[in-house]
Amino acid sequence: MHVRPLAPQLEVGVVGLGTWSVFDVGSDRQPLADEVVATMLAAGGRLLDSSPMYGSAERVLSAALGDRRDEAVVATKIWTSSVAEGRAQFAEHLELYRGRVEVEQVHNLVRWHQHLGWLEEEQAAGRIRALGATHYSPRAFGELAEVMRTGRIQMVQVPYNPGERECEADILPLAQELGLGVLGMRPLGSGSLGRGPGPEELAALGVQTWAEAVLVWDLSDPRITAVIPATSNAEHAAANARAGEHPGFSPEQRHRVEALWRARR
């Protein structure tokens, strides 16, 4: 799988795994999560995104990693308006992910002014490799740009797929200018993938599935470091990982995928 730098000295496979909803499950579904994580790691994926907002997802992810924790780049989040609660969330991260977190993000920019100070102390102590900030709404991109310009974070996470391209206006150019990594959340449109084109059209694009075509579209913008499609299905995880081997679409192929996205059912 291709790799790109998410932060200084932190390269990741370009296709990771999101855990929102799909890993918020009971212990009866732990074996499915184990299979998805094992499939992703076997394909060269390293990046796993989670958050305290995602119910049991962090515990399920930690259990799925098991003895393979060292192979993973864990990108999780602090999601609270209270510093005390934020520190408690971080303490739980250290417990779940064996004493360190590769990427700690301020989820939805919640109280970022208050959280960045103590997070920087944890980073200086070596318990966090990179700091970041996320937001799902273009309405918050102005504030996200403000955090980026502070020089205190190394990466951001924003929505990116053929139907959500607002980050192209300001966030991606700013990330490029400042040398920040970018994670594409909702890379498959968060469940709105629909039915794509037939096998001939897919073969012409050099992919086997519609999901792969969409992920390759996302990754064909080199300012996107990696995407984090969520799945509860190991076959889907394998298909998604294949997108990380693709050389990328030409501008014409990209336009074709945009047309196919608009025409999907």
Ligand X SMILES: NC(=O)c1ccc[n+]([C@@H]2O[C@H](COP(=O)([O-])OP(=O)(O)OC[C@H]3O[C@@H](n4cnc5c(N)ncnc54)[C@H](OP(=O)(O)O)[C@@H]3O)[C@@H](O)[C@H]2O)c1
List contacts with ligand X (CB under 6 A). Answer: 18-20, 22, 49, 107-108, 134, 136, 157, 185-191, 193, 209, 211, 228-233, 236, 239-240
Query: Least distance from C-beta 125 to ligand X, angstroms?
Result: 25
Compare residues 77 and 223 and give the one whose CB is closer to ligand X. 77
Compare residues 81 and 121 and give the one whose CB is closer to ligand X. 81
Query: Least distance from C-beta 136 to ligand X, angstroms?
Result: 4
Spatial separation of the C-alpha atoms in residues 190 and 81, rounded to whole Å:
26
104, 156 contact by CB (below 8 A)? no
Q: How many other C-beta atoms are found inside a 10 Å radius of the C-beta of residue 216? A: 26
CA angle, 227 then 74 then 13, to 5°: 40
Compare residues 172 and 230 and give the one whose CB is closer to ligand X. 230
Compare residues 39 and 190 and give the one whose CB is closer to ligand X. 190
Query: Least distance from C-beta 17 to ligand X, angstroms?
Result: 8
225, 6 contact by CB (below 8 A)? yes
Query: Least distance from C-beta 206 to ligand X, angstroms?
Result: 16
Give the 3-state secondary structure of residue 185.
strand
Decide the pairing of beta strands 181-185 and 155-159.
Answer: parallel
Nearest to 182 by CA among 139, 129, 218, 142: 218
Query: Least distance from C-beta 86 to ligand X, angstroms?
Result: 16
Compare residues 107 and 125 and give the one whose CB is closer to ligand X. 107
**Which amino acid is located at 7 in the chain?**
A
Q: Which residue is nearest to ligand X (CB)?
A: 18
